[in-house]
Amino acid sequence: MAKEKTLYTCNECGGTSPKWLGKCPHCNAWNTLIESVAESAAPTKNRFASLAKTAAVTALADIEASDVERTPTGHDELDRVLGGGIVEGGVVLIGGDPGIGKSTLLLQALDSLQRAWEAAPGRAGQRGGTFLSDAGPSQGAKAPLGGSGPRAAGERGGTLYVTGEESGAQVALRARRLGLEGSRVNVLAEIQLEKILATLDAHRPSVAVIDSIHTVYSEQLTSAPGSVAQVRECAAHLTRAAKASGTAIVLVGHVTKEGALAGPRVLEHMVDTVLYFEGDTHSSFRLIRAIKNRFGAVNEIGVFAMTEKGLKGVSNPSAIFLSQHSEPVPGSCVMVTLEGTRPMLVEIQALVDTGGPSPRRLSVGLDRDRLAMLLAVLHRHAGVACMDQDVFVNAVGGVRISEPAADLAVMLAITSSLRGKPLPKGFLAFGEVGLAGEVRPAPRGQERLKEAAKLGFSVAVVPKANLPKKNDKAFEGLTVHGVERIEEAMELARSLT
Ligand SMILES: Nc1ncnc2c1ncn2[C@@H]1O[C@H](COP(=O)(O)OP(=O)(O)OP(=O)(O)O)[C@@H](O)[C@H]1O
Ligand SMILES: [Mg+2]
Q: Any idea where the domains of the chain sit in the sequence?
A: 1-40, 71-122+143-313, 332-496
CA distance 210 to 200: 11
401 pLDDT higher than 60: yes
2 pLDDT higher than 60: no
Q: What is the pLDDT of residue 296?
A: 83
Q: What is the pLDDT of residue 55?
A: 67
Q: What is the pLDDT of residue 263?
A: 74
Q: How confident is the model at residue 374 (pLDDT cuts 50, 70, 90)?
A: very high
Instruction: Report the pLDDT averaged over residues 238-264.
Output: 88
CA distance 437 to 486: 5
CA distance 482 to 460: 8
- Does the beta carbon of 140 sit less than 6 angstroms from any atom of ligand 1? no
Q: Which of 306, 308, 309, 311 to mutate to test the pocket of ligand 1 (most atoms within 8 A of CB)?
A: 306
272 pLDDT higher than 90: yes
- Does the beta carbon of 306 sit less than 6 angstroms from any atom of ligand 1? yes
3-state secondary structure of 347: strand
Instruction: Report the pLDDT averaged over residues 74-84.
Output: 91
- Fold equal for 71-122+143-313 and 332-496: no
Q: What is the pLDDT of residue 144?
A: 41
Q: What is the pLDDT of residue 285?
A: 87
- Does the beta carbon of 311 sit less than 6 angstroms from any atom of ligand 1? no
Least trusted range by pLDDT, from 125-134, 195-204, 358-367? 125-134
HEC letters along the chain: CCCCCEEEEECCCCCEECCCCCECCCCCCECCEEEEECCCCCCCCCHHHHHHHCCCCCCHHHCCCCCCCEECCCCHHHHHHHCCCEECCCEEEEECCCCCCHHHHHHHHHHHHHHHHHHCCCCCHHHCCCCCCCCCCCCCCCCCCCCCCCCCCCCCCCEEEEECCCCHHHHHHHHHHCCCCCCCCEEEECCEHHHHHHHHHHHCCCEEEEECHHHCECCCCCCCCCCHHHHHHHHHHHHHHHHHHCCEEEEEECECCCCCECCCCHHHHHCCEEEEEECCCCCCEEEEEEEEECCCCCCCEEEEEEECCEEEECCCCCCCECCCCCCCCCCEEEEEEEECCEEEEEEEEEEEEECCCCCCEEEECCCHHHHHHHHHHHHHHHCCCCCCEEEEEEEHHHCCCCCHHHHHHHHHHHHHHHHCCCCCCCEEECCEECCCCEEECCCCHHHHHHHHHHCCCCEEEEEHHHCCCCCCHHHCCCEEEEECEHHHHHHHHHHHC
Nearest CA among 344, 362, 373 for reference residue 448? 344
Instruction: Report the pLDDT averaged over residues 57-77.
Output: 85
Paired sense of beta strands 332-339 and 342-354, if any: antiparallel
For domain 332-496, give its CATH number from 3.40.50.12780, 3.30.230.10, 1.10.10.10, 3.40.50.150.
Answer: 3.30.230.10
Using one digit for the tens of pLDDT, what is the confidence trace for 9-54?
877 777 888 888 999 888 888 888 888 777 554 444 555 555 556 6
Q: Which of 93, 97, 100 to mutate to test the pocket of ligand 1 (most atoms within 8 A of CB)?
A: 100
Sheet arrangement for strand 186-189: 186-189, 159-163, 207-211, 248-253, 91-95, 273-278, 285-293, 301-307, 310-313
Q: What is the pLDDT of residue 153?
A: 54
pLDDT higher for 144 or 323? 323
143 pLDDT higher than 50: no
Q: What is the pLDDT of residue 48?
A: 55
Q: What is the pLDDT of residue 238?
A: 96
- Does the beta carbon of 149 sit less than 6 angstroms from any atom of ligand 1? no
Name beta bridge partners: 171.
none
3 pLDDT higher than 70: no
SS3 content of the chain, % helix, strand, coil (to 5): 30, 25, 45
For 144, what's the count of Cα atoms within 13 Å in the CB-facing half-sphere? Answer: 19
- Does the beta carbon of 164 sit less than 6 angstroms from any atom of ligand 1? no
Is domain 71-122+143-313 annotated with CATH 3.90.25.10? Answer: no
- Does the beta carbon of 179 sit less than 6 angstroms from any atom of ligand 1? no
Least trusted range by pLDDT, from 119-123, 342-346, 461-465? 119-123
- Does the beta carbon of 118 sit less than 6 angstroms from any atom of ligand 1? no
Q: Whose CA is nearest to atom 23 of ligand 1?
A: 99
Distance of CA 435 to the CA centre of its chain: 31
Distance 167 CA to ligand 1 centre (A): 15
Using one digit for the tens of pLDDT, what is the confidence trace for 161-177?
999 999 999 999 999 99
